[in-house]
């Protein structure tokens, strides 16, 4: 399988790049009730031998020991963590203390402030309003915050900042983590006054990604303006409650007694209390307070977007809108990245809508976001192709809450979790049989009616017959034929196993309703 991925990596990359463009919305219109025809025969990718939950449950004790050691090494008072498989929280636990003074143990029901993990909730609210036709991602931000029309851009030819710029952090605002963290409890008026007085830019809009809390504060204000409700109320009513997240809060004073984790920093070889920031206009960039039990439902909702499939929609927004949130923009390459085995594995990453999206050289994709505020650190990662999500919260300032690389080793090396597999479509299966015949029957196998019109124009029948004969002569008698490994609905690979060598065959079908073979590539390879 690894060799096949390598062989066709270039083709797959071109297809991914070609799909990155977003459609231009000429006008706001609701997409909630748009109906279109679809294939009743489509078979979505599925797990062939699904033992994910049982496998993950088996590492409960090992994972707890790992988290205890990590907490001790990094002076973390308490950590709560969990793993979801599809829609179920199948492993959860906590180590250490949520409150040192009162010696209260951390629990999976303990509320932690999750900081910037809030951002995707804000993005989801924007997507919901977009789907309802109440705004467009191409709308200038000045349509909702008028003083944005008066900001001084870096260049005369700068593009106007739109909502999508705020979502993808490409508005040109400077990275503002240290400053932004202390603005959490400020009022909307402070935000508006700051914009009116002017904002400095570090880049021209739509040119670079740069992490911006300010942009997400603006998005929160836009949500309130468009919905007619305070941002926090809208998130609660339209996202939290539909997902049954009933123990999630915005204001620390609203968390029930004994349920809120107390935040600390490690200084002078001791833990010191951090002030608990109240909710405010910057809450949309990092103010949410939640539990592992509640947040697991949100992670499961994101996982529910995969794979694309037929069936009823469930949850606050459509599956296609979730996948749109999880699509990277302005991709960047880290050529020096390493995988969980600590082996070289370059990573392509990009920021979507409140989420970071990553794909490494081992063909593993994950989506994640961290959060850090005075007193707290948090992170979650989900793997769409595996249907698995992991999350952890802790109560120590700006701290990574887990040994992620070691956890990945457990999941993907020790447990050997596998991706879904794509079933072979009916038309691809039929054409595979015809490709087989083209080889096994020699000259009589190349039937005109199974090939698209370009096929024998691209290379003559005479040349194709000779190439097939030469390949068969090189491998000896054909002993068996492998199953087809589909890349999508209309392309795939399989092998003819010869006496001495194999022939690996790759073919693609045309877009016609009666799809025909438009490309046929093959090579003689060692067994």
Is 302 a residue whose pLDDT tops 80? yes
434 and 342 co-located in one domain: no
Final residue before a domain boundary, out of 414, 443, 468: 414
* Contact of 289 with 263, CB cutoff 8 Å: no
> Could you tell me the maximum CA-CA distance found in the chain, to the nearest angstrom?
85
390 and 506 co-located in one domain: no
Q: What is the residue whose two structure tokens read 């103010």?
A: 287
C-alpha–C-alpha distance, residues 504 and 200, integer Å: 57
393 and 501 co-located in one domain: no
Q: Which of 35-49, 352-366, 389-403 has the lowest mean pLDDT?
A: 35-49
396 and 430 co-located in one domain: no
C-alpha–C-alpha distance, residues 506 and 432, integer Å: 10
Is 2 a residue whose pLDDT tops 80? no
299 and 442 co-located in one domain: no
The answer to whether position 492 is within a domain reads yes
pLDDT tens digits, one per residue of 492-522: 999 999 999 999 999 999 999 999 999 999 9
pLDDT tens digits, one per residue of 429-488: 999 999 999 999 877 778 889 999 999 999 999 999 999 999 999 999 999 999 999 999
Q: What is the CATH number of the domain that holds 482?
A: 3.10.450
Final residue before a domain boundary, out of 414, 434, 457: 414
Final residue before a domain boundary, out of 379, 414, 449: 414
C-alpha–C-alpha distance, residues 507 and 90, integer Å: 41
445 and 471 co-located in one domain: yes
pLDDT tens digits, one per residue of 404-422: 999 999 999 999 999 999 9
The answer to whether position 391 is within a domain reads yes
The answer to whether position 159 is within a domain reads no
The answer to whether position 172 is within a domain reads no
The answer to whether position 176 is within a domain reads no
479 and 334 co-located in one domain: no
Reference 181, options 211, 209, 145; nearest CA is: 211
The answer to whether position 182 is within a domain reads no
Output the pLDDT for position 57: 98
The dihedrals phi and psi of 313, each to the nearest 5 degrees, come to -85, 145
Q: Which of 22-31, 48-57, 182-191, 362-371 has the lowest mean pLDDT?
A: 22-31
Q: What is the residue whose two structure tokens read 């999941």?
A: 411
pLDDT tens digits, one per residue of 84-120: 999 999 999 999 999 999 999 999 999 999 999 999 9
326 and 475 co-located in one domain: no
Output the pLDDT for position 33: 61
The answer to whether position 160 is within a domain reads no
Residue 359 bridge partners (DSSP): 348, 365
Confidence of residue 26 (pLDDT cuts 50, 70, 90): very low
Output the pLDDT for position 32: 57
253 and 274 co-located in one domain: yes
Range of the domain at 430: 426-525
Reference 322, options 297, 355, 350, 351; nearest CA is: 355
Output the pLDDT for position 34: 67
The dihedrals phi and psi of 509, each to the nearest 5 degrees, come to -105, 155
- Relative to beta strand 502-509, strand 517-525 is antiparallel
484 and 517 co-located in one domain: yes
The number of distinct structural domains making up the chain is 2
Output the pLDDT for position 122: 99
276 and 296 co-located in one domain: yes
pLDDT tens digits, one per residue of 38-62: 988 899 999 998 999 999 999 999 9
Is 12 a residue whose pLDDT tops 50? no
303 and 446 co-located in one domain: no
The answer to whether position 204 is within a domain reads no
């Amino acid at each position: 399988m690894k060799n096949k991925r390598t062989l066709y990596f270039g083709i797959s990359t071109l297809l991914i790049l070609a799909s990155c463009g977003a459609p231009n919305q000429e006008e706001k219109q609701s997409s909630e009730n748009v109906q279109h025809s679809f294939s009743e025969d489509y078979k979505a990718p599925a797990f062939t031998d699904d033992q994910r939950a049982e496998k993950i449950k088996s590492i409960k004790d090992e994972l707890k020991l790992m988290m205890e050691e990590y907490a001790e090494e990094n002076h973390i008072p308490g950590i709560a963590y969990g793993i979801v498989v599809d829609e179920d929280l199948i492993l959860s636990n906590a180590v250490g203390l949520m409150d040192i003074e009162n010696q209260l143990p951390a629990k999976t029901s303990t509320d932690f402030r999750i900081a910037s993990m809030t951002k995707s909730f804000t993005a989801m609210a924007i997507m919901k309003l977009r789907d309802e036709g109440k705004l467009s991602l191409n709308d200038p931000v000045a349509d909702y915050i008028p003083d944005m029309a008066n900001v001084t851009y870096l260049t005369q030819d700068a593009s106007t900042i739109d909502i999508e710029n705020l979502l993808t952090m490409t508005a040109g605002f400077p990275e503002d983590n240290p400053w932004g963290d202390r603005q959490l409890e400020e009022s909307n008026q402070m935000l508006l006054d700051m914009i009116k007085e002017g904002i400095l830019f570090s880049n021209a809009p739509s040119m670079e990604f740069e992490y911006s809390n300010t942009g997400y504060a603006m998005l929160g204000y836009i949500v309130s303006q468009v919905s007619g409700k305070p941002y926090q109320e809208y998130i609660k009513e339209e996202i939290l409650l539909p997902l049954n997240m009933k123990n999630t809060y915005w204001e620390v004073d609203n968390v029930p007694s004994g349920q809120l984790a107390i935040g600390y920093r490690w200084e002078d070889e001791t833990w010191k209390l951090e002030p608990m920031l109240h909710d405010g206009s910057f809450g949309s960039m990092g103010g949410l307070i939640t539990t592992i039990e509640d947040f697991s439902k949100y992670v499961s909702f994101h996982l529910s977007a995969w794979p694309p499939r037929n069936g009823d929609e469930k949850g606050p927004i459509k599956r296609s809108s979730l996948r749109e949130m999880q699509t990277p923009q302005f991709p960047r390459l880290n050529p020096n990245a390493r995988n969980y085995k600590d082996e070289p594995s370059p990573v392509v990453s990009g920021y979507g809508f409140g989420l970071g999206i990553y794909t490494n050289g081992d063909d593993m994709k994950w989506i994640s976001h961290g959060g850090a505020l005075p007193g707290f650190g948090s992170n979650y990662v989900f793997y769409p192709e595996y249907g698995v999500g992991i999350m952890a919260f802790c109560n120590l300032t700006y701290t990574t809450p887990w040994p992620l690389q070691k956890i990945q080793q457990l999941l993907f090396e020790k447990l050997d979790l596998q991706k879904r597999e794509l079933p072979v479509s009916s038309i691809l299966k039929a054409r595979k049989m015809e490709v087989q015949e083209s080889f096994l029957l020699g000259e009589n196998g190349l039937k005109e009616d199974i090939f698209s019109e370009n096929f024998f124009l691209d290379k003559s029948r005479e040349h194709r017959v000779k190439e097939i004969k030469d390949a068969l002569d090189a491998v000896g008698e054909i002993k068996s034929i492998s199953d087809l490994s589909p890349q999508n609905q209309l392309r795939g690979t399989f092998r003819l196993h010869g006496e001495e060598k194999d022939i690996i065959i790759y073919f693609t079908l045309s877009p016609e309703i009666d799809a025909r073979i438009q490309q046929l590539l093959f090579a003689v390879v060692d067994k």
